[in-house]
Amino acid sequence: MRKRTLALLLLFLTIGVTWAQKKQITISGTVISSADKEPVIAASVVCTDFPSIGVLTDVKGNFSFKVPEEARTLTISSIGYTTQKVAISSSPMHIILKAEERITETVVITGYGATRKSAFTGAATTLSTKHMKDVPSVSIEDKLTGAIAGLNVSSVSGQPGSFSTVRIRGLGSINAGNDPLYVIDGVPVNTNSATQFGSYSSGGVNPLATLNSNDIENITVIKDAGAAALYGSRAANGVIVITTKAGRSGRTHYSFKADWGSTDMAIDYRPTLSGEERKTLIEAGYRKYYSELRNKQTGQLLYPTPDLVEEQVRKTTEPSTAVPWTGHYTDWRKILLRKGSVQNYEFSANGGSENTKFYTSISYSDQKGISLASSFNRLTGSFNVSHTDRRLELKARALFARTTQNQNSDGTAFSNPIYGVSTTLSPSTYPRNPDGSYNRSFQGNNNINPLFALEKNFNQAKIFRATPTLEASFTIFPWLKAKQIASCDYFNTEEAVWWDPRQGDGEASNGVFQRANSEYYTLTSQSQLFAVKQFGEHNLSGVMSFEVEDYQRLENYLYGLDYPSFLKKEIENAGTKSGSSSANSSRMLSYLIKADYNYADRYILAASARWDGSSRLAPNKRWGLFWSLSGSWNISKESFMKPLEKVLSDARLRVSYGANGTLPSNYYDHLSTYSFGYNYNGGTGLTESSLGSPNLSWEKNKSLNVGVDFKLLHRFGVSFDYYTRTTTDLLIEKNISGTTGFSAELQNLGSMRNTGFELELRSANITLDNFSWNTTLSVGHNKNTLLRYDGKQTREVAGRIVHEVGYPYNSYYIAEYAGVDPTTGKASYYKNTLTSKGTLDRTITTDPNQVSRRRIDKPYDPVITGGLMNTISWGPIDLSFNLSYSLGGYIFDNAEALHKDGNSEVLNLAIPKMYDLNKMWKKPGDNAELPAFDPTNTFISSTRFLFSSDHLRLKSLTLGATLPNNWVKKMGVNSIRLYASGANLLTWKDKKLVVDPEFRGFVSYQTPALRSITFGVQVGI
C-alpha cells in the first residue's frame, strides 16, 4: 500500500515538474452566443496546439487557464454552435459563437459543477428566470407551476407569503417528508416551516418567500438518482438547484425596476345566493316541509290549509331572512374582503474587471391580500463578489431578507373571513349596530363578529434571514482545483398573536397574547477537489468532497391571559403568564466521490458514491451509502447517423440507476426520552415521553431512469423519460402493546413505488432576424402504489382516506352517491355493505345509517400535469405566457355546512348558488339533479361532493416594449422597457368546482389563488 501511495505521489510530482519546465502564459476571456448575447456555459475551450490543455466555460461564460508560451490558437466548441478557431491574445478575449441550429443547448447545474445537457447522463431540467422575472408573485414555487415536467405544485393557501406543496415524481415517504432539497449556489438550505403557530393559518410562513426571484439566474430541477445521489440522504424527493446572479466584466451596469398593480380572487370562489334568492329558497323548503308534516300518532296534517302553512313558514323563517336594519341585505364580501394591491421596487448593479466582478441588488415588495388582515412585505439585499489572482479565486456571496407577514385564520375558524362570506354569515345580519358598535349576534358564526376579529386581532410574523457564503478556489495544476466553501443559513422568526378580550377568541380568557421566537441556523463546510483531464478524445473528470453540516434550532414561547385593558398587549401586563423553550440540534458528516468519463462526446459514463452519517440515527445505523451509475450514448455522433443529420440530430439515449435516502423528520426518534415538569407529591418529577427506536434507519429510495433526447429538422426538440422509483424501509408508526405505556413505535417497515413518464417538446416555431417564437410543452404522469404497509396490515383507514396495499397511498374512503331518489326527493347512496358471499351489496338506499364507505377509484392526485410556455420577440416587443394544466385528479369539497340540502342550520348560514330551485326535486317521479330542499336533510361524506380538478390556467403573461435607443439616449440612460404582467389571469375548470383547482384532497375554506395584474418600468443605465 505504501509503495502504491509513493508511486502516485511521484507521478503527480513528475507531472507538475514537467509542466513547470515549460514557460507558460495565462489566457482568459468570455464566450457568448450570437443569438441572444447570453454567456455560453460549459463551452469547450481547447489549446489547438496542445489538445490535452483546455477548460470548460463557467456559468458566466468565462474561462481562464495557462498554456505554453508557444501556443497560438484556441478551438472553441459547444453543441448547437459552429466550432471556431481564434488566435490567442494576451488581453482578455471576447468570443462570439455563432448558433448553427435553431434550438440552443441548455446547461445542467448540479451544485457540483455545470454540464452541457448533451453530456448530462441523468434527468434534469434547467429553467432560466428571464421570462418569469416580471410575474407578480412572491413565491418561487408558484412561478414553477407548469414549467417543468414531473414537478407538481399545489396550493395550500392564496394568502401572500404562504407555502405551496412541491412534489417531484410523486409521493416518496409517509412520515419522513416529501419536499425536495433546495440548494442555493451549491449549498443546501433550510425550507422547513418558520412558524410555531401553524395551526392558526394553513398557509404558514414560507422561508422561500424570503428570496427575490430576480436575484436568481436559473433554476435546475434534478429528478433522478443520477445527479440527486450526490446529495445522498436529503435527495430522495429530488433537488432544486438555484443559481444566483453574478457580476460580469466590463463597465458597471445599473438597473432600476418598479411595478404596481392589484390582486383579486382567481376564480368565482364559493358564490352564494343573494338575500332575496336565499329568502325564496328557504321559504320554499319550509313550505314543502310544513305542508307534509303530520302528527306522529294520528297521521293527520298539522297544517291542513295553505294559510296555516304560510303562517308557520313566516314564524320560522322571518327572523332569519329579514332585511337588516340598514334597509338592504348585506354583501359580506364587500365588507370583509377587498381588492388587494402589489408594488415592487428593485435596484441592481453589476460589472467589474477581468479579475474582479460584482453583482449587488436591493428590492422592496409590498402585497396586500384580499382579506383586511392579510399582507406581506419584504426587503431583500444581495451581493456577489469574485476576485481572481493568478491561481487563486475568491468569492463572497450573501442574500439578506426582512419580511413581515400578516395572516387571517384559515379553515373553519369563525374569525376566517373566507369561511364567513361563503358559509357562516347570513345576508340578514350586519357587522355593526345602529349606534356604530360591533354586533355580537351571529348564530351561524358562534356569535363572533368577523369584522371585529379582522380589525382588532392580529397574527404577525417577522423574519430576518441571511445566507452568507465564502468560497476559495486554488488551481493546483491546470487539471486539478481545490475549493473550500463555508456557508451559514441563518433564520430568525418573531411572531405575535393577539386575541382581543372584548369579543371572540380572547373573550373567555379576558384577552390572550402569544409571542414566539424561533432562531435556527445551518453551518455548512465543503472541502472539495475537482479534476479535469483530456487525452485526445478521452475526457476524465472527478469530484471529491468532505462536508460537515451543523443544524441548531432554539424556540421560545410566551403567553399571557387575563388583561386589565385591551390597550396593553405585552406579556408583562397579563394577569397570568407562562412560557416554554426548546433547543434542538443535529449534525451530519459526508464523504463524496464522483467520476465522469466522456469519449468524443459519444459515450459518457458517470458514477458517484456518498457516505452520510447523521446524529438523527443510532450509532449502529448512523452511516448510509448512497450511489448512482449512469451513462449516455450520443447516437448522432455515430457515422451511420450522418445521412439523417438534416432530419434527426442530437439523438442520445440516457440510463441511470441509483440509491438515495430520507432521514426521520424528528431529531431524536431513535432515543428513549424523558420529559420534566410532571411533579408529584410536592416534588419535581419526570415521565417517559418517547419509547425510542434504536434500530431506526434511513428510508431507502432506488430509482431507475431511461431517457431519450433528439431534435427534428434542427427546430423541434424532444425529451422523453420513463422512471420507476421504489422506496423501502418506510418509516411507519406501528401499533404496539399498551403495556409499554405507548401506543405506537416508529419502525422501518413499509414500501411504495412511483412509476411514470415525462415528455418535453421544444419548438423554435419562427426564427427571423427581427422575429422569434419559441414554445415548450411539458407533460408528466405519475402512478403511486403502496407495496407494503407494516407487514401485517394490508389496509389502514384514516378518517376519509384509506391506505391499501396495491393502490395509491392516498385513496378516498367515502360513501358512494347514487343520485336523487325519484320517489322521495332524498339523496340516495349505494349500501356497499359486505354480503355473505364477500361481494358488495349495490342496493340503493336513502338512509345514511345503512351505508358503508368504500375505497373510491377516483385519484387523489392528478394523473397528468404539465404546461405550455411561449416566448415571442418582435423587434422591441416581447411577449411570454405560460399555461399550466392538470388532468385526472379529484378534490373533495369539504364544506359540510353548505351541503345539507336545507337542513335547519341553513337559517343562520349563507347558501351556495348551486341550490337552484329549478333543478330541485318537487314531486314523485322527478328525475332531478338536486334533492328537495328540506330542513330534515342530513349530510354524509360521499362522492356527490367529489369534483374533478381538471383545469387549464393562464398562469402568467407578460407583454413588454423596449423604447427606441435614439429616444432613451436623449434621457441619459441606456434602455427603458415598459411592461404589463399578470398571474392566474384565466382558469378553465369544472363549473361545479367552487374552490381553486390547484388545491389537493379535502378542501374547506382556504384562501384561493390570487389573480394579479401589474404595470411596470425597467430602466438600464
pLDDT digits (tens, 9 = 90+) for 1004-1017: 999 999 999 999 99
- For 22-97, CATH number? 2.60.40.1120
pLDDT tens for 463-499 read 999 999 999 999 999 899 999 999 999 999 999 999 9
User: Which grid coordinates are listed for 486?
Assistant: 463555508
Whether residue 974 has pLDDT greater than 80 = yes
Measure the CA dihedral 65/66/67/69, to 10°.
140
Q: How many CA atoms lie less than 13 Å away from 177 in the CB half-sphere?
A: 19
- Measured CA to CA in angstroms, residue 524 lies from 550, 589, 742, 849 at distances of 7, 10, 37, 59
The confidence band for 101, taking pLDDT boundaries of 50, 70 and 90, is very low
Q: How much is the pLDDT for 79?
A: 64
Place of cell 443544524: 551
Whether the predicted pLDDT of 382 surpasses 90: yes
Does residue 421 sit in helix, strand or coil?
Answer: helix
Contact present, 129 and 216 (Cβ < 8 Å) = yes
pLDDT by residue (tens digit) across 605-630? 999 999 999 999 988 899 999 999 99
> Using an 8 Å Cβ cutoff, are 494 and 462 in contact?
yes
863/860 Cα distance (integer angstroms): 9
β-bridge partners, 518:
493, 555
Determine the residue type at 180. Answer: P
Of 1006, 973, 768, which is closest to residue 872 (Cα–Cα)?
A: 768
H-state helical runs in 971-1014: none
Q: What is the pLDDT of residue 61?
A: 83
Coil, helix or strand at residue 498 = strand
3-state DSSP call for residue 321? helix
Asked if the model's pLDDT at residue 22 lies above 60, the reply is no
pLDDT band at 11 (very low <50, low <70, confident <90, very high): very low
DSSP 619-649: GGG-EEEEEEEEEEEEGGGSGGGGGGTTTEE
Mean pLDDT of all residues in 397-411 = 93
Higher local confidence (pLDDT), 994 or 769: 994
Q: Does the pLDDT at position 193 exceed 90? A: no
Residue 115: pLDDT over 80 = no
pLDDT band at 354 (very low <50, low <70, confident <90, very high): confident
| b/e per residue 772-797 (b: at least 16 CB within 10 A) | bbbebbbbbbbebbbeebeeeeeeee
pLDDT of residue 424: 94
Angle, helix 306-321 to helix 275-292, in steps of 10 degrees = 140
What's residue 606's pLDDT? 94
Asked whether the predicted pLDDT for residue 100 surpasses 70, the reply is no
Instruction: Compute the distance between CA of residue 792 and CA of residue 335 in angstroms, rounded to an integer.
Output: 55
Sign, CA torsion 664/667/672/674: negative
Strand order in the sheet with 1001-1003: 946-948, 890-893, 1001-1003
**Residue 392 half-sphere exposure toward CB, CA atoms < 13 A:** 3
Asked whether the predicted pLDDT for residue 519 surpasses 90, the reply is yes
As a whole number of angstroms, the distance between CA 369 and CA 86 comes to 56
Burial label, 6 (beta-carbon count in 10 A; 0-12, 13-18, 19+): exposed
Q: How confident is the model at residue 97 (pLDDT cuts 50, 70, 90)?
A: confident
Tell me the percentage of the chain whose pLDDT exceeds 90: 65
Instruction: Grade residue 17 by pLDDT with cuts at 50, 70 and 90.
Output: very low
Better-predicted residue by pLDDT, 772 or 692: 772
Residue 677 pLDDT more than 80? no
Provide the CB-side half-sphere exposure for 748 (13 A, CA).
19
CA distance 856 to 986: 31
In whole numbers, what is the pLDDT of the chain averaged over residues? 90
Among 862, 987, 885, 800, which residue's Cα sits nearest to residue 996?
A: 987
pLDDT for res 105: 56
Residue 2: pLDDT over 50: no
Question: In this predicted structure, what is the pLDDT of residue 35?
Answer: 63
Cell representation of residue 499: 386575541
Q: Which residues contact 624 (CB under 8 A, 6 or more apart)?
A: 232, 233, 611, 612, 613, 614, 661, 697, 698
Instruction: Place 80 in a pLDDT band, splitting at 50, 70 and 90.
Output: low
Q: What is the pLDDT of residue 598?
A: 93
Q: Is residue 3 over pLDDT 60? A: no
Taking alpha carbons only, the member of 723, 744, 934 closest to residue 820 is 934
Task: Give the integer Cα–Cα distance in Å for 885 and 781.
Answer: 12
Backbone angles phi, psi at 277, to 5 degrees: -65, -40
Report d(CA 201, CA 371) in Å as an integer.
13
Whether 566 shows a pLDDT value over 80: the answer reads yes
Domain locations along the chain: 22-97, 108-264
Give 759-772 as a DSSP string: EEEEEEEEE-SSEE
Please give the Cα distance from 373 to 409 (Å, whole number): 9
pTM of the predicted model, to two decimals?
Answer: 0.87
Partners of 362 in the β-ladder: 347, 381
CATH of 108-264, one of 2.170.130.10, 1.10.760.10, 3.40.50.720, 2.70.180.20: 2.170.130.10
| Same-fold call for 22-97 versus 108-264 | no
φ, ψ at 172 (rounded to 5°): -115, -5
Q: Which three cell numbers stand for residue 285?
A: 323548503
pLDDT at residue 106 in the model: 66
pLDDT score recorded for residue 37:
67
> Residue 896 pLDDT > 50, yes or no?
yes
